[in-house]
Amino acid sequence: MKDDTAWIRINEAGYSPKRKKIAIVLSEQDITGKSWSLKNNGKTILEGTLQNPIKGAGHHLPIGFFSYKIDISLITTIGDYTLELQGAETKQVYIRNDPYSKFMLEALSHAKVMRSGCKTPLSEASHIGDAKAIVYKVNGDWKDGKWEKAQPERTLDMLGGHYDAGDYIKFTLTEASLAWHLLEAYSVLLAKDNKDSELSLLLDEIKHSLDYLAKTFPDENIFVIQVGDGKDHNYGWRLPDEDVLREKRPALCALSRTQMGSTAAVLAFGARVFKEKDAKLSTFYEDKAIAIYKRAREKDTHKSAFERDDANDFYYDYDDTDNMALAAIELYHLTQSEEYLNDCKEYAPSANEMVSWAEFNATINLRLAQNNDKRGTELFLEEMKSYYNVQNSKDNVWNLPLDDYTWGVLPVWIGMANHLYLAELFDETIKGSDTFYGVLDYVFGCNNWGIPMIATFELQNSIKNVYNQRTHLLKQLAVGALSEGPACRKTHEQHREHFFEKTPKDNPYEKFNTPTAVFDDNAFDYVISESTIWGQGNVILMLALAE
């Protein structure tokens, strides 16, 4: 509404009955004392006045904005309600036994759209030329991120896997991250005795990912960290079955411990999951996991390898300890060999030491905590408490686990929130579920902009313009795709010159941007609007936990 003087932000997907339910009111004026009411069929069920405003400091809220919390947690009866406040658009509030599983199925459907090397819901068999990907080796120092064609020339069958994001490059790191989160989501839902349909869909996607990852280690001296490179961006937008680079796409190969550790970890995890379902496949994954881990520990391997592109370094991970520790602990759970458990303790990073772009460092200490390791438990809880304490900083009314805004910060928040949810099982004082549900609500519209950041027809206000070549060219909504979320303003400005079209100056969400954080819904803005398989894995796990 154009004449709004206040804006109500809620979880547009709804709330389960017993969880905490917080709405946030934003206003450019101090409206302390204004009355609000929650109604059901026109009857007031709960009411109150706005109190205790927090004034925006420019980090999480626009400078000068006032924010108020409305707690409707007392309402636990299933039904449809309206939240009303004079001067603000009335909001629908849904309380459901299971408000989130349909969105997990949509998030899974988007992962299927991101598949490569097979027919998908939006394309015929795509990039079949990857069956003859050309081997490239590091050109000079591995820290420079430069590559050249290996001699003598050789090709590898790298058909399969998932496209990392809106382009057609496949990264072993993000593929492994997707697989790990899907495996964890499967384990969560299996423990909850969930629907067979959800479990079978998860297993199908997991197998597609693991089968590709098993190809990354064709022999003792070859490990594939990436298929495709920055040149993929030079050919304009096209559908994946229109492969102008057929049989010309490089397979960047390096004995890089970050990628090898992550791959060994998920293959070991996968072997454990498939043990009762397909013994032969389980043994295949196990043998690959052990071989990759063993090779990664030899002296001629490197800490990390990556491609340096004009716009950015592609997934440069400067520390391998979390990746190798994850491999060791997953191999321990698979084989029960104490040797792997000792390796994990040796590799495990210190608490609150973000040693990579993902949250695997927290995962290691969680796994050790789950194994009743005293030191691992201490490190895990120490890290989780540091995230939890951020809730009380500055103008963080959203219960976010970090103050920093980076590129792809929403998946980072989701990953941390997932761990905080599990941390509460070890230490009730952490109240990790507060952050978990805060981030979950943020994903579904309880944020500065009132925009659910997962594309869906189910929610009228959700993002509509995901940066994805397939859905954009076919003029389809990227159903289930999670955006990268708000970005650091400085980073966003640095990348604007690379957008196919510039972000329009009349961004309707600018009012709610802050000096630190910006958001828009623009199909050409890859910093904010792109969906990644890493992000998809994170949100699928979050939705599994929320069920």
> Which pLDDT tens digit goes with each residue over 106-118?
999 999 999 999 8
Strand-pairing partners, residue 48, are 36
- C-alpha 174/C-alpha 162 separation (Å) is 9
**Residue given tokens 């890859």 in the structure block:** 526
The reply to whether domains 6-95 and 101-446+531-546 share a CATH topology is no
Provide the Cα torsion 191, 197, 198, 203; round to 10°.
90
- C-alpha 172/C-alpha 426 separation (Å) is 32
- Architecture of the domain delimited by 101-446+531-546: Alpha/alpha barrel (1.50)
**Residue from 309, 87, 131, 320 nearest 227 by CA:** 131
Q: How far is CA 495 from CA 140, 312, 474, 481, 492, in A?
A: 28, 9, 26, 22, 5
**Token pair of 122 as six digits:** 């939006």
Provide the Cα torsion 125, 242, 122, 472; round to 10°.
160
pLDDT at 355: 52
Packing angle, helices 338-347 and 321-335, rounded to 10: 160
Give the pairing type, strands 313-314 and 22-27: unpaired
Angle at 313 between CA 311 and CA 317, to 5 degrees: 155
In the chain, domain spans: 6-95, 101-446+531-546
pLDDT at 503: 62
Residue 475 buriedness (CB in 10 A; 0-12 / 13-18 / 19+):
exposed
pLDDT at 495: 86
- C-alpha 76/C-alpha 96 separation (Å) is 9
- Architecture of the domain delimited by 6-95: Sandwich (2.60)
- Tens digits of residue pLDDT in 358-388: 677 789 889 999 999 999 899 899 888 888 7
Give the type of residue at 482.
Answer: L
- C-alpha 328/C-alpha 293 separation (Å) is 8
- C-alpha 293/C-alpha 34 separation (Å) is 61
User: Which residues of the chain fall short of a pLDDT of 50?
Assistant: 1
Q: What is the chain's mean pLDDT, rounded?
A: 92
- C-alpha 212/C-alpha 202 separation (Å) is 16
State phi, psi for 40 to the nearest 5 degrees: -130, 115
What is the end-to-end Cα distance of the chain in Å, rounded?
Answer: 33
